[in-house]
Amino acid sequence: MKTAFITGATSGFGRAISVRLAKLGYHLIITGRRTQRLEELLKQLNSDFPASKVISLCFDVRDNEACTKAIQSLPETFQTIDLLVNNAGLAAGALPFDESDLKDFDQMIDTNVKGLLYITKLIVPGMIKQQSGHIINISSIAGIEVYPNGSVYCASKHAVNAITKGLRLDLVKHGIKVSSVSPGMAETEFSLVRYHGDADKAKAVYTGLIPLNAEDIADTVEFIVTRPAHVSINDIQINPAQQANTYISFRK
């Protein structure tokens, strides 16, 4: 059985991906900052998928020392990681650049870019040793197109795409696959977090259309990880049917 390490497993895509990977027979290392959510998910996975061994690690991906300690604390049975899903991330704020809060900029860059780098840097050496592995970075349509009031979130996801391409170039010789998934609008806790807890603003993002949901992204990850060994799915961009691109959505 293979082992997967998932960041941001306490909500949205990460939670759905974790459940799906357990269903596919993976052992899991689920991570996030909210202890209670991790405990609840661990309990659910143990009860629904008893063949899958699950461990949880609670830490903030922005803290490299905490990432290092957490990964060093893994019991031997979890030290061979076959699949890393870099999913933890967020948008903070949706204001024009000049009106935005520098704290929001820091949070997005520190989580979406530096956090992803810290975790990847810690896990890649094991994959190189094994001469096999798979990294899936959850990027965004925001990594392809820049939209107003989203400059730094979009910059962070453009960086994720550059890192994905760079990793692919550097790791191909070690038998490590590197994939990215770039969703458009998906209803999770994403907009609630972006609007700092304003539920009305979060809801309004999806008015008049059917957004993607976390299961759609779990389906995509399932497709990527179930290809034959000789096939690498490099990048998938997935949108709601009513969203043509960042700018054009058909809302009823």
At its nearest, how many Å lie between ligand 8X3 and the CB of residue 168? 21
Q: Is 185 in the site for ligand 8X3 (CB under 6 A)?
A: yes
At its nearest, how many Å lie between ligand NDP and the CB of residue 45? 15
> Using CB under 6 A, which of 4, 5, 6, 13 touches ligand NDP?
13
Catalytic option among 26, 118, 147, 153? 153
**Which residues lie closer than 8 Å to 167 by C-beta, 6 or more apart?**
120, 124, 135, 176, 178
Binding mask 30-49 for ligand NDP (x = CB under 6 A): --xxx--x------------
Report the b/e string of 61-86 with b at 16+ CB within 10 A.
bbbbebbeebbeebeeebebbbbbbb
| Sites for ligand NDP among residues 161-190 (CB under 6 A) | 183, 185-186, 188-190
| Sites for ligand NDP among residues 75-104 (CB under 6 A) | 87-90
At its nearest, how many Å lie between ligand NDP and the CB of residue 212? 7
Q: Is 150 in the site for ligand NDP (CB under 6 A)?
A: no
111 binds, among ligand NDP, ligand 8X3, none (CB under 5 to 8 A by kind): ligand NDP
Our answer to whether residue 153 is catalytic in this structure is: yes
> Using CB under 6 A, which of 67, 81, 141, 218 touches ligand 8X3?
141
At its nearest, how many Å lie between ligand 8X3 and the CB of residue 90? 9
Select the residue whose beta carbon is closest to ligand 8X3 and give its number: 140
Reading the block at residue 12, the tokens are 């949205």
- Part of the chain binding ligand NDP (CB under 6 A), chosen from 56-64, 68-76, 125-133, 163-171: 56-64
Q: Is 19 in the site for ligand 8X3 (CB under 6 A)?
A: no
Backbone angles phi, psi at 103, to 5 degrees: -65, -40
> Using CB under 6 A, which of 140, 164, 188, 239 touches ligand 8X3?
140
Q: How far apart are the first and last CA of the chain?
A: 46
What value does the CA radius of gyration of the chain take, rounded to a whole number of Å? 18
Pick 132 or 189: Cβ nearer ligand NDP: 189
| Sites for ligand 8X3 among residues 37-76 (CB under 6 A) | none
Q: What are the residue numbers of the active site?
A: 153
Residues that bind ligand 8X3 (CB under 6 A): 140-142, 150, 184-185, 246
